[in-house]
Amino acid sequence: MKLIGSYTSPFVRKISVILLEKGITFEFINEMPYNAENGVGKYNPLGKVPALVTGEGECWYDSPIIAQYIELLDIAPAMVPREPKAALHTRQLEALADGIMDAGLVIVRELARPVAQQSPEELLRQREKVTRGLDALDGFVADGTLKAEELNLATIAVACAVGYLNFRRLSPGWCAERPHLVKLVETLFQRDSFARTEPPKA
Ligand SMILES: N[C@@H](CCC(=O)N[C@@H](CS)C(=O)NCC(=O)O)C(=O)O
């Protein structure tokens, strides 16, 4: 199995963590999707990472689909509950975490533009998504919807989203008033799978 990805992508990290936790061996093909010369389009017409190529040559994207494909392999530990509605709840939490990653990515891209071309309105819009998303996640940990001691697709996605904000220093004070979320991500960050997929220091 080959995972096409970059070491800084939180979506790729989510998939890497799942594969490591399940003990599935894979080859990592490092591609930089934002570089002019990159081979990502061979695997995903949208030119985005991650993509997963199976031993049979099937190619899967994007990260929620890859996560679903991996669950089909039925290798423990299960990352999604079997009961359909509970599974949908888990996937919705994944979508929320992925949305925070998307907003973070837009902020990083916007800040990479010359200052005169940056849109303060767009930056604010995206920052509000991050803030509301983090508030919602903190509430979900507080009410027990998300549990720090549970390893599943939702908790992994949440830790990857927060890990990305930390890595890009996008929301430096996020932990000040979100103690429940802090506990969840600190628990996840202690796992070997997270240590092994930490984004490279700049
Ligand atoms: N919804 C996609 C998002 C993936 C994504 O945005 N990946 C970024 C890297 S973090 C990318 O490859 N961007 C390249 C581009 O947008 O051209 C997923 O979950 O896989």
Mutate to test the pocket of ligand 1, among 7, 9, 11 (most ligand atoms within 8 A of CB): 11
- From atom 1 of ligand 1, which residue's Cα is the shortest distance away? 62
Where do the DSSP E strands lie in 41-182?
51-53, 59-60
pTM: 0.98
Report, as an integer, the average pLDDT of 23-47.
Answer: 96
Ligand 1 contact, 133 CB (< 6 A)? no
**Cα–Cα distance between 10 and 93 in angstroms, integer?**
15
Q: Which domains does the chain have, with CATH numbers?
A: 2-72 (3.40.30.10), 84-191 (1.20.1050.10)
Confidence of residue 201 (pLDDT cuts 50, 70, 90): confident
Q: What is the mean pLDDT of the chain?
A: 97
Ligand 1 contact, 14 CB (< 6 A)? no
Percent share of the chain, pLDDT over 90: 99
Confidence of residue 117 (pLDDT cuts 50, 70, 90): very high
Ligand 1 contact, 44 CB (< 6 A)? no
- What digits encode the pLDDT tens for the residues 67-98? 999 999 999 999 999 999 999 999 999 999 99
Residue 139 makes CB contacts below 8 A (sequence gap 6+) with: 180
Nearest to 184 by CA among 136, 146, 152: 146
Task: Give yes or no for residue 202 having a pLDDT over 80.
Answer: no
